[in-house]
Protein backbone atom coordinates (compact mmCIF):
# COMPACT_ATOMS: atom_id res chain seq x y z
CA UNK A 1 0.00 0.00 0.00
CA UNK A 2 1.13 3.54 -0.73
CA UNK A 3 1.98 5.76 2.27
CA UNK A 4 1.23 8.90 0.29
CA UNK A 5 -1.08 11.30 2.12
CA UNK A 6 -4.54 12.03 0.70
CA UNK A 7 -4.53 15.02 -1.62
CA UNK A 8 -6.51 17.08 0.90
CA UNK A 9 -3.68 16.72 3.45
CA UNK A 10 -0.73 17.44 1.18
CA UNK A 11 0.99 20.75 1.92
CA UNK A 12 1.35 21.95 -1.66
CA UNK A 13 -2.31 21.20 -2.38
CA UNK A 14 -3.50 23.00 0.78
CA UNK A 15 -1.37 26.04 -0.09
CA UNK A 16 -2.77 26.12 -3.62
CA UNK A 17 -6.34 25.70 -2.32
CA UNK A 18 -5.78 28.54 0.14
CA UNK A 19 -4.60 30.74 -2.74
CA UNK A 20 -7.74 29.93 -4.74
CA UNK A 21 -10.01 30.72 -1.76
CA UNK A 22 -8.27 34.03 -1.11
CA UNK A 23 -8.41 34.98 -4.77
CA UNK A 24 -12.13 34.18 -4.99
CA UNK A 25 -12.94 36.15 -1.81
CA UNK A 26 -11.09 39.14 -3.21
CA UNK A 27 -13.12 38.95 -6.41
CA UNK A 28 -16.31 38.54 -4.41
CA UNK A 29 -15.47 41.72 -2.53
CA UNK A 30 -14.65 43.58 -5.74
CA UNK A 31 -17.92 42.39 -7.28
CA UNK A 32 -19.90 43.52 -4.21
CA UNK A 33 -18.23 46.95 -4.32
CA UNK A 34 -18.93 47.21 -8.06
CA UNK A 35 -22.61 46.30 -7.56
CA UNK A 36 -22.94 48.82 -4.71
CA UNK A 37 -21.27 51.54 -6.79
CA UNK A 38 -23.48 50.89 -9.81
CA UNK A 39 -26.64 50.91 -7.67
CA UNK A 40 -25.72 54.16 -5.91
CA UNK A 41 -24.79 55.84 -9.19
CA UNK A 42 -28.31 54.93 -10.36
CA UNK A 43 -29.78 56.29 -7.09
CA UNK A 44 -27.91 59.57 -7.62
CA UNK A 45 -29.26 59.92 -11.15
CA UNK A 46 -32.77 58.96 -9.99
CA UNK A 47 -32.63 61.45 -7.12
CA UNK A 48 -31.73 64.26 -9.52
CA UNK A 49 -34.55 63.35 -11.89
CA UNK A 50 -37.08 63.13 -9.03
CA UNK A 51 -36.10 66.60 -7.83
CA UNK A 52 -36.29 67.98 -11.38
CA UNK A 53 -39.70 66.42 -12.11
CA UNK A 54 -41.15 67.66 -8.84
CA UNK A 55 -39.98 71.18 -9.62
CA UNK A 56 -41.17 71.32 -13.25
CA UNK A 57 -44.22 69.04 -13.42
CA UNK A 58 -47.74 69.37 -12.06
CA UNK A 59 -47.99 65.79 -10.88
CA UNK A 60 -48.73 66.67 -7.25
CA UNK A 61 -48.09 64.87 -3.98
CA UNK A 62 -49.04 61.44 -5.35
CA UNK A 63 -46.08 61.42 -7.73
CA UNK A 64 -43.74 59.29 -5.56
CA UNK A 65 -46.53 56.87 -4.63
CA UNK A 66 -47.32 56.27 -8.31
CA UNK A 67 -43.64 55.97 -9.23
CA UNK A 68 -43.06 53.48 -6.43
CA UNK A 69 -46.03 51.33 -7.50
CA UNK A 70 -44.96 51.28 -11.14
CA UNK A 71 -41.32 50.43 -10.39
CA UNK A 72 -42.19 47.68 -7.88
CA UNK A 73 -44.66 46.18 -10.37
CA UNK A 74 -41.88 45.99 -12.95
CA UNK A 75 -39.16 44.90 -10.48
CA UNK A 76 -41.02 43.02 -7.70
CA UNK A 77 -37.86 41.56 -6.12
CA UNK A 78 -36.15 44.93 -5.71
CA UNK A 79 -36.68 46.54 -2.26
CA UNK A 80 -35.16 49.87 -3.19
CA UNK A 81 -38.27 51.20 -4.96
CA UNK A 82 -40.54 51.60 -1.94
CA UNK A 83 -41.99 55.08 -1.49
CA UNK A 84 -39.89 55.48 1.67
CA UNK A 85 -36.65 54.64 -0.13
CA UNK A 86 -37.50 56.98 -3.01
CA UNK A 87 -37.93 59.74 -0.42
CA UNK A 88 -34.54 58.84 1.06
CA UNK A 89 -32.93 58.93 -2.39
CA UNK A 90 -34.36 62.41 -2.96
CA UNK A 91 -33.20 63.56 0.51
CA UNK A 92 -29.70 62.13 -0.13
CA UNK A 93 -29.42 63.96 -3.44
CA UNK A 94 -30.58 67.28 -1.97
CA UNK A 95 -28.26 66.95 1.04
CA UNK A 96 -25.12 66.76 -1.08
CA UNK A 97 -26.30 69.51 -3.43
CA UNK A 98 -26.63 72.08 -0.65
CA UNK A 99 -22.86 72.71 -0.83
CA UNK A 100 -21.92 72.82 -4.50
CA UNK A 101 -18.24 73.37 -3.63
CA UNK A 102 -17.91 69.72 -2.54
CA UNK A 103 -20.75 68.09 -4.53
CA UNK A 104 -18.57 66.70 -7.31
CA UNK A 105 -15.96 65.41 -4.87
CA UNK A 106 -18.66 63.89 -2.68
CA UNK A 107 -20.41 62.05 -5.52
CA UNK A 108 -17.18 60.26 -6.42
CA UNK A 109 -16.89 58.98 -2.82
CA UNK A 110 -20.42 58.36 -1.57
CA UNK A 111 -21.11 55.72 -4.22
CA UNK A 112 -18.22 53.65 -2.82
CA UNK A 113 -19.78 53.01 0.61
CA UNK A 114 -23.00 51.10 1.41
CA UNK A 115 -26.41 52.76 1.23
CA UNK A 116 -27.00 52.23 4.96
CA UNK A 117 -23.76 54.03 5.78
CA UNK A 118 -24.82 56.89 3.51
CA UNK A 119 -28.11 57.26 5.35
CA UNK A 120 -26.39 57.19 8.76
CA UNK A 121 -23.98 59.93 7.71
CA UNK A 122 -26.50 62.41 6.30
CA UNK A 123 -28.87 61.86 9.23
CA UNK A 124 -26.20 62.47 11.86
CA UNK A 125 -23.98 65.13 10.24
CA UNK A 126 -25.17 68.74 10.20
CA UNK A 127 -23.04 69.96 7.28
CA UNK A 128 -21.72 68.27 4.12
CA UNK A 129 -18.11 69.04 5.08
CA UNK A 130 -18.43 66.92 8.21
CA UNK A 131 -20.33 64.23 6.29
CA UNK A 132 -17.61 64.00 3.62
CA UNK A 133 -15.01 63.46 6.35
CA UNK A 134 -16.91 60.38 7.56
CA UNK A 135 -17.51 59.16 4.00
CA UNK A 136 -13.76 59.22 3.29
CA UNK A 137 -12.90 57.67 6.67
CA UNK A 138 -15.43 54.86 6.16
CA UNK A 139 -13.97 54.06 2.78
CA UNK A 140 -10.38 54.28 4.04
CA UNK A 141 -10.81 52.19 7.20
CA UNK A 142 -13.68 49.90 6.22
CA UNK A 143 -15.81 50.88 9.22
CA UNK A 144 -18.93 48.87 9.99
CA UNK A 145 -22.08 50.90 10.52
CA UNK A 146 -21.81 50.51 14.31
CA UNK A 147 -18.23 51.81 14.31
CA UNK A 148 -19.27 54.68 12.04
CA UNK A 149 -22.09 55.63 14.43
CA UNK A 150 -19.67 55.53 17.36
CA UNK A 151 -17.19 57.79 15.58
CA UNK A 152 -19.86 60.34 14.67
CA UNK A 153 -21.43 60.36 18.12
CA UNK A 154 -18.00 60.78 19.75
CA UNK A 155 -17.48 63.83 17.47
CA UNK A 156 -14.31 62.54 15.82
CA UNK A 157 -14.50 65.24 13.13
CA UNK A 158 -14.45 68.02 15.73
CA UNK A 159 -11.64 66.44 17.79
CA UNK A 160 -9.23 65.22 15.12
CA UNK A 161 -5.99 67.17 14.72
CA UNK A 162 -6.70 69.53 17.64
CA UNK A 163 -3.89 68.51 20.01
CA UNK A 164 -1.26 71.07 21.00
CA UNK A 165 2.05 69.87 19.50
CA UNK A 166 5.47 70.93 18.31
CA UNK A 167 5.41 68.64 15.27
CA UNK A 168 5.86 71.49 12.79
CA UNK A 169 9.46 72.14 13.94
CA UNK A 170 10.45 68.63 15.08
CA UNK A 171 9.28 66.49 12.14
CA UNK A 172 9.54 66.70 8.33
CA UNK A 173 6.47 68.42 6.78
CA UNK A 174 4.75 65.27 5.46
CA UNK A 175 5.22 63.32 8.70
CA UNK A 176 4.28 66.40 10.75
CA UNK A 177 0.91 66.73 9.02
CA UNK A 178 0.16 63.02 9.36
CA UNK A 179 1.21 63.00 13.02
CA UNK A 180 -0.99 66.02 13.78
CA UNK A 181 -4.00 64.40 12.11
CA UNK A 182 -3.35 61.17 14.04
CA UNK A 183 -4.04 62.89 17.38
CA UNK A 184 -7.31 64.13 18.87
CA UNK A 185 -8.33 66.55 21.57
CA UNK A 186 -9.95 65.45 23.74
CA UNK A 187 -9.82 61.65 23.80
CA UNK A 188 -13.09 60.20 25.06
CA UNK A 189 -12.82 57.10 27.26
CA UNK A 190 -16.53 56.68 27.93
CA UNK A 191 -16.12 52.90 27.72
CA UNK A 192 -14.42 52.96 31.16
CA UNK A 193 -16.37 52.80 34.43
CA UNK A 194 -14.14 55.28 36.24
CA UNK A 195 -14.67 58.51 38.12
CA UNK A 196 -12.82 61.79 37.58
CA UNK A 197 -10.60 61.23 40.63
CA UNK A 198 -9.05 58.09 39.12
CA UNK A 199 -5.32 57.55 39.66
CA UNK A 200 -2.90 57.21 36.75
CA UNK A 201 -2.15 53.51 37.32
CA UNK A 202 -5.88 52.71 37.54
CA UNK A 203 -6.48 54.55 34.27
CA UNK A 204 -3.60 52.71 32.60
CA UNK A 205 -4.83 49.30 33.74
CA UNK A 206 -8.38 50.05 32.63
CA UNK A 207 -7.24 51.19 29.17
CA UNK A 208 -5.15 48.07 28.66
CA UNK A 209 -8.03 45.88 29.87
CA UNK A 210 -10.23 47.53 27.23
CA UNK A 211 -7.49 47.62 24.60
CA UNK A 212 -9.88 47.07 21.66
CA UNK A 213 -11.96 50.13 22.54
CA UNK A 214 -8.79 52.08 23.38
CA UNK A 215 -7.26 51.34 19.96
CA UNK A 216 -10.53 52.35 18.28
CA UNK A 217 -10.42 55.69 20.10
CA UNK A 218 -6.73 56.22 19.30
CA UNK A 219 -7.53 55.72 15.63
CA UNK A 220 -6.23 53.79 12.64
CA UNK A 221 -2.57 52.86 12.59
CA UNK A 222 -1.87 52.35 16.30
CA UNK A 223 -0.53 48.94 17.37
CA UNK A 224 -0.17 48.12 21.07
CA UNK A 225 3.35 47.18 22.22
CA UNK A 226 3.16 47.15 26.02
CA UNK A 227 2.59 48.89 29.36
CA UNK A 228 5.16 49.89 31.99
CA UNK A 229 7.90 49.21 29.44
CA UNK A 230 11.21 48.96 31.30
CA UNK A 231 14.19 51.09 30.27
CA UNK A 232 17.56 51.43 32.01
CA UNK A 233 19.41 54.72 31.71
CA UNK A 234 22.53 55.48 33.75
CA UNK A 235 21.94 52.33 35.82
CA UNK A 236 18.52 53.64 36.88
CA UNK A 237 15.16 52.06 36.06
CA UNK A 238 12.47 53.94 34.16
CA UNK A 239 9.03 52.77 33.04
CA UNK A 240 6.95 54.02 30.12
CA UNK A 241 3.22 54.09 30.84
CA UNK A 242 2.18 52.82 27.40
CA UNK A 243 4.13 52.09 24.23
CA UNK A 244 2.56 51.83 20.76
CA UNK A 245 3.82 51.61 17.21
CA UNK A 246 2.13 53.66 14.48
CA UNK A 247 2.08 51.72 11.20
CA UNK A 248 1.58 54.73 8.91
CA UNK A 249 4.02 57.03 10.69
CA UNK A 250 6.43 54.08 11.05
CA UNK A 251 7.49 55.12 14.51
CA UNK A 252 7.07 54.28 18.17
CA UNK A 253 4.57 56.36 20.17
CA UNK A 254 5.08 56.78 23.91
CA UNK A 255 1.88 57.68 25.79
CA UNK A 256 2.18 59.11 29.28
CA UNK A 257 -0.98 59.38 31.40
CA UNK A 258 -1.44 62.26 33.83
CA UNK A 259 -4.48 62.29 36.09
CA UNK A 260 -3.73 65.96 36.82
CA UNK A 261 -3.41 69.26 34.99
CA UNK A 262 -0.58 69.55 32.47
CA UNK A 263 2.65 71.07 33.79
CA UNK A 264 5.84 71.93 31.83
CA UNK A 265 7.74 69.28 33.81
CA UNK A 266 5.61 66.59 32.14
CA UNK A 267 6.95 67.57 28.71
CA UNK A 268 10.56 67.51 29.89
CA UNK A 269 10.23 64.02 31.34
CA UNK A 270 8.51 62.71 28.20
CA UNK A 271 11.27 64.22 26.04
CA UNK A 272 13.76 62.20 28.11
CA UNK A 273 11.74 59.02 27.50
CA UNK A 274 11.68 59.67 23.73
CA UNK A 275 15.46 59.99 23.68
CA UNK A 276 15.76 56.68 25.53
CA UNK A 277 13.40 54.89 23.12
CA UNK A 278 15.20 56.33 20.09
CA UNK A 279 18.54 55.05 21.40
CA UNK A 280 17.47 51.70 22.86
CA UNK A 281 14.41 50.46 20.94
CA UNK A 282 14.15 52.35 17.63
CA UNK A 283 15.86 50.74 14.63
CA UNK A 284 17.26 52.27 11.48
CA UNK A 285 13.98 51.53 9.69
CA UNK A 286 11.90 53.57 12.16
CA UNK A 287 11.17 57.30 12.15
CA UNK A 288 11.78 59.40 15.31
CA UNK A 289 9.65 58.39 18.27
CA UNK A 290 6.63 60.58 19.07
CA UNK A 291 5.28 61.36 22.53
CA UNK A 292 1.68 61.94 23.60
CA UNK A 293 0.80 63.41 27.00
CA UNK A 294 -2.78 62.53 27.98
CA UNK A 295 -3.75 64.90 30.79
CA UNK A 296 -6.91 65.45 32.78
CA UNK A 297 -6.84 69.13 31.75
CA UNK A 298 -4.39 71.51 30.11
CA UNK A 299 -3.84 75.22 29.62
CA UNK A 300 -3.22 75.60 25.89
CA UNK A 301 -0.85 78.57 26.24
CA UNK A 302 1.26 76.84 28.91
CA UNK A 303 1.43 73.70 26.76
CA UNK A 304 2.55 75.70 23.71
CA UNK A 305 5.25 77.48 25.75
CA UNK A 306 6.47 74.19 27.23
CA UNK A 307 6.84 72.53 23.82
CA UNK A 308 8.35 75.48 21.94
CA UNK A 309 12.01 74.76 22.80
CA UNK A 310 11.80 70.96 23.03
CA UNK A 311 13.38 69.21 20.06
CA UNK A 312 11.47 65.94 20.47
CA UNK A 313 8.01 65.60 18.79
CA UNK A 314 5.35 65.77 21.51
CA UNK A 315 1.60 66.30 21.53
CA UNK A 316 -0.45 67.36 24.55
CA UNK A 317 -4.15 66.59 24.79
CA UNK A 318 -6.88 65.99 27.34
CA UNK A 319 -8.99 62.94 28.07
CA UNK A 320 -12.60 62.66 29.17
CA UNK A 321 -14.05 59.70 31.03
CA UNK A 322 -17.59 60.63 29.96
CA UNK A 323 -18.87 62.77 27.14
CA UNK A 324 -20.18 66.17 28.11
CA UNK A 325 -23.91 66.66 27.54
CA UNK A 326 -24.89 69.09 24.78
CA UNK A 327 -25.93 72.47 26.17
CA UNK A 328 -29.44 72.16 24.75
CA UNK A 329 -29.97 68.99 26.82
CA UNK A 330 -28.51 70.25 30.07
CA UNK A 331 -31.35 72.71 30.63
CA UNK A 332 -33.95 69.99 30.12
CA UNK A 333 -32.54 67.68 32.81
CA UNK A 334 -33.86 67.92 36.37
CA UNK A 335 -31.57 69.19 39.12
CA UNK A 336 -30.67 67.08 42.17
CA UNK A 337 -33.08 69.17 44.25
CA UNK A 338 -35.92 68.56 41.79
CA UNK A 339 -35.28 64.81 41.83
CA UNK A 340 -35.27 64.78 45.63
CA UNK A 341 -38.52 66.75 45.74
CA UNK A 342 -40.15 64.33 43.28
CA UNK A 343 -39.01 61.30 45.28
CA UNK A 344 -40.27 62.86 48.52
CA UNK A 345 -43.63 63.52 46.92
CA UNK A 346 -43.95 59.91 45.69
CA UNK A 347 -42.96 58.54 49.11
CA UNK A 348 -45.52 60.85 50.73
CA UNK A 349 -48.26 59.59 48.39
CA UNK A 350 -47.41 56.00 49.28
Based on the number of CB atoms within 10 Å of its own CB, is 56 exposed (0-12), middle (13-18) or buried (19 or more)? exposed
- pLDDT mean across residues, the chain: 87
Query: Higher-confidence residue: 35 or 1?
Result: 35
Fold of 159-323: Trna Endonuclease; Chain: A, domain 1 (3.40.1350)
Could you tell me the pLDDT band of residue 325, with boundaries at 50, 70 and 90? very low
pLDDT digits (tens, 9 = 90+) for 204-240: 998 999 998 899 899 889 999 999 999 999 999 999 9
Report the predicted TM-score, pTM, of the whole model to 2 decimal places: 0.68
Taking residues 314-319, report their average pLDDT.
Answer: 94
| Better-scored residue on pLDDT, 198 or 99 | 99
Please give the pLDDT value at position 330: 45
**For the chain, which residues make up each domain, given as ranges?**
20-153, 159-323
C-alpha 154, offset from chain centre: 9
Task: Kindly indicate the confidence band of residue 23, based on its pLDDT and cuts at 50, 70 and 90.
Answer: confident
Say how far apart CA 42 and CA 207 lie, in whole Å.
45
Instruction: Look at residue 295 and give its three-state secondary structure.
Output: strand
List the one residue out of 222, 166, 149, 185 whose CA is nearest residue 317. Answer: 185
Instruction: Give the mean model confidence (pLDDT) for residues 122-130.
Output: 94
Q: Tens digits of per-residue pLDDT, 326-339?
A: 445 445 545 555 55
Amino acid sequence: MSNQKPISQQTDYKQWLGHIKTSFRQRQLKAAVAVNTTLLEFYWQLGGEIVEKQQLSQWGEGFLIQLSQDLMAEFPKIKGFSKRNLELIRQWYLYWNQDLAITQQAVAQIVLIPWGHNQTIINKCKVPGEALFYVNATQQHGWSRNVLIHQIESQLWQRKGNAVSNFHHTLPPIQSDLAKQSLKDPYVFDFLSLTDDVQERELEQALVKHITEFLLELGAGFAYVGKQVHLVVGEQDFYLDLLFYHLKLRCYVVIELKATDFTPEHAGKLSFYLTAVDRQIKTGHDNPTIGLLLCKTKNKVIAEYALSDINKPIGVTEYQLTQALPENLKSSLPSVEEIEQELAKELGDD
